[in-house]
Amino acid sequence: MRIGRRLALDPGTARIGVAVSDRDGILASPHEPLSASDPTQAMVALDEVITEVEPIEIIVGLPRSMDGSDGAAALKAREFAEELAGKVSIPVRLVDERLSTVQAQRGLHAQGRSMRQSRSMIDSAAAAVVLQHALDTERSSGHAPGEVCS
């Protein structure tokens, strides 16, 4: 397992969910989501998070269809990841995020939060689910998950 923090992003139209791992790559935690309403301001805010976290890589959730194909949302996530990869000096990886939002909603519901109460954090909770899956996959396989953007 590589040592260093990872940053995960779940890009959406209203918000960008953000999650961060610990230095040992064991636990993913949700971070405050970023507003996506102004793309330029979102990139500025994201740059601040990257500077704060100092990740060894960035993981972007890839919302594939249940059959594994890329729909419109996956294409937008790919565009986001490729744009980001062109602006940072660390690897950006796309990792399958099918059902991460459903799993995040269930987790928040189990904590006693209603859908209304959890709306602002659901994207970051989903990013944490994707990041935790990526960490667990790397720990069990010895290989970083997903595909690298160039």
**pLDDT tens per residue across span 79-104:** 999 999 999 999 999 998 865 554 55
Q: What are the extents of the domains in the chain?
A: 6-148
7-16, 28-37, 110-119, 124-133: the lowest-pLDDT one: 110-119
Residue 149, pLDDT > 80, answer: yes
Our CA angle for 117, 123, 128, nearest 5°, is 110
Which CATH superfamily does the domain covering 6-148 fall into? YqgF/RNase H-like domain (3.30.420.140)
Could you tell me how far CA 18 lies from the centroid of its own chain? 6
Residue 38, pLDDT > 90, answer: yes
Q: Please indicate, yes or no, whether the overall pTM of this predicted structure exceeds 0.75.
A: yes
> What are residue 23's phi and psi, to 5 degrees?
-60, -30
For residue 113, give every residue at least 6 positions away whose Cβ sits within 8 Å of its Cβ, in sequence order, or none: none
Length of the chain: 150
